[in-house]
Structure 1
Amino acid sequence: MLSMRSIILLFPFLFLLACSKEDVVMGPTGSPAPPSAEPDTTISFLALGDSYTIGTSVAADERWPNQLSRQLLAREKIAVEPLEIVARNGWRTDNLANALAAADPGENFDLVSLLIGVNDQFQGFSVDGYQQRFRALLESAIGYAGGDTSRVFVVSIPDYAYTPFGGGKESISREIDAFNAAAESVATSYGVPFYNITPITRRGLQQPDLVASDNLHPSGKQYGLWVEEVLLARVAGLIRKNG
């Protein structure tokens, strides 16, 4: 079984390209806590996904799971220890499933997130097939949360049409919408919240600083907006609800 405590540096290729082992992150990745923060709650957090979860083309502390963890501590007095990420640049649903089968993260996480599907869309896989594979991954995510659906959340797929790479193509947006609808349907059927960050990603052409230097992935600033506008209050509510 592979160690979940190892971290391999990322090599910032586009998620659309073939990936090397240098793109994977599996292990604790939490950012240092603000010195003045005094947590009243500590949780473990497992983030599952692809390039959008490992933050291709941004620094490690700019990834959305890392930013969320910092803000939970600074503003909600919730410490994340550990934060573990199982994600890789270019992964489809089947790639993530295979990685989880090879290195089972465990079953005792207080919080588990799932964001996956853009590479299924880009590589021409059907929505129906994606939905089936996504369902299996969500079931795995629930298992990592000890079978408790209230500890799991899904994040929507960003719309890369609104980047210089995507060029504003409406066909991309339509397909992203279809894949997101499939993921939301599965999440709803399990009672798992679906957090829609896609509208933020559609500001990318009008606000170039929301796109990373590779002209494709979100910038750290954009990930910060995911946290500020969509994730922080909702995730903090999930955590508090579970005591």
Structure 2
Amino acid sequence: MLAIDQILRLPLLPLLLLQGIAVRRRALILPEPSGPRQGQCGSGPLLRLLIAGDSSAAGVGTSDQAQALSGQMAAQLATNFELHWQLQATTGHKTRDTLAQLAALPKQRFDVVVLALGVNDVTSGTSRRGFAREQSQLMQLLEDRFEPDLILASGVPQMQLFPALPQPLAWVLGRQSTRLDTVLKAEAQNRPNVLHLPFELPQDPDLAAKDGYHPSAQAYHLWAELLVQHIHAQLKT
């Protein structure tokens, strides 16, 4: 049975198309931040970390990887671990793109994998069935190729809260992002080493980058804190 937003999508289509074109025309295009995409730091037990995904995983919204998700996580984890980390993330990537990117890596061991995907699957019209299939393929690839103890799947962001998106476009994309996040949560529940973490940050203007679409450095810090807390908790058990 179709949801209300899916029913209204057809009559709203002309307006949604116009809004989508307008958003693209006035969008502030931010580059991926400079800085290293792999490294070693800290002391303690060895922890091998892979971060993969789209522009949010790549740290768009900041000027340097030190302020981005990878840098924030590395700094926090280095206080307790000898951390070997690697970032594989590209602006615009959907799940299937990240699947192909990771499939091209040599087989190696990562203790923890962090995933940040979904927004581009929403905007490109990926169906729930397609998203479920590709997420399942991605999880299986990670388990077979990298043998992680823990996969942290960041939830699909609540797109209805993106400042750059006008209504009703934000509402329609928000409803679809919720549907895909439900799919991601269900996939995680079927795999004992996968943990779904809802992407829920406070509604604070300072947590959005200047493009109104990506996280700010402050948001990356909060996101990294949440991920690191779960890494500590899960590895202890």
TM-score relative to the length of structure 1: 0.75
Deviations 1:183-227 (A, max 9, x none): 11111101211112x221x61xxx221111222100010111112
Q: Deviations 1:81-126 (Å, cap 9, x if unpaired)?
A: 2x1111100011121122223x224231121122212111111121
Q: Secondary structure at the match of 1:209?
A: helix
Aligned residues: 205
Shift of 1:44: 1.2
**Residue matched to 2:172:** 171
Cα 1:106–1:23 change in 2 (3 A) is: farther
Q: Which amino acid aligns with 1:234?
A: H
**Does structure 2 conserve the Cα–Cα contact (< 8 Å) formed by 1:145 and 1:152?**
no
**Which residue is equivalent to 1:29?**
38
Conserved 8 A contact 2:119-2:156: yes
Kindly state the Cα deviation for residue 159 of structure 1 after the two structures are TM-superposed.
2.1
Q: Equivalent pairs: percent with the same residue?
A: 22
Give secondary structure in 2 for the equivalent of 1:114.
strand
2: CA distance between counterparts of 1:193 and 1:158?
A: 16
Match of 2:56 in 1: 52
Displacement after TM superposition at 1:239 (Å) = 3.0
Q: Which residue of 2 aligns with 1:80?
A: 83
Q: 2:145 & 2:74 partners in 1: Cα distance?
A: 19
Residue by residue, what CA displacement relative to the aligned partner does 1:11-58 show, whole Å, maximum 9, x if unpaired? xxx9xx9x9xx8699x8434x85xxx6x32121111111111001121
Output the CA distance in 2 between the equivalents of 1:134 and 1:79: 30
| C-alpha distance 66-23 of structure 1, shift in aligned 2 (>3 A) | closer
Q: Secondary structure at the match of 1:153?
A: strand
Instruction: Give secondary structure in 1 for the equivalent of 2:153.
Output: strand
In the aligned structure 2, how far is the partner of 1:24 from the partner of 1:212?
Answer: 13
Q: TM-score, normalised by structure 2?
A: 0.77
Letter in 2 for 1:183: L
For residues 1-243 of structure 1, the aligned pairs below 5 Å read 28-30=37-39, 33=41, 39-58=43-62, 59-74=64-79, 77-81=80-84, 83-101=85-103, 103-146=104-147, 148=148, 150-167=149-166, 169-191=170-192, 192-196=194-198, 198-200=199-201, 203=203, 207-228=204-225, 230-241=226-237
Mark the CA change 1:208 to 1:178 in structure 2 (over 3 Å): closer, same or farther.
Answer: same
The SS at the match of 1:125 is coil
- Judge conservation of contact 2:92–2:120 (CA < 8 Å) in 1: yes
Matched residues in 2 for 1:224 and 1:79: separation? 20
Q: Is the 8 A contact 1:47 1:112 kept in 2?
A: yes
The unaligned stretches of length 5 or more in structure 1 are: 1-13
8 A Cα contact 1:48 1:114, kept in partner: yes
SS at match of 2:83: strand
1:7 is aligned to: none
Structure 2, unmatched stretches of 5+, are 1-23
Note if contact 2:152-2:227 (Cα within 8 Å) is conserved in structure 1: no
Name the SS of the counterpart of 1:61 in structure 2: coil
Kindly name which structure, 1 or 2, has the bigger radius of gyration based on alpha carbons. Answer: 2
Deviation at 1:157, TM superposition (A): 1.7
Structure 2 letter corresponding to 1:126? S
Aligned-pair Cα RMSD in Å: 2.6
Structure 1 residues 96 and 41: CA distance shift in structure 2, 3 A: same
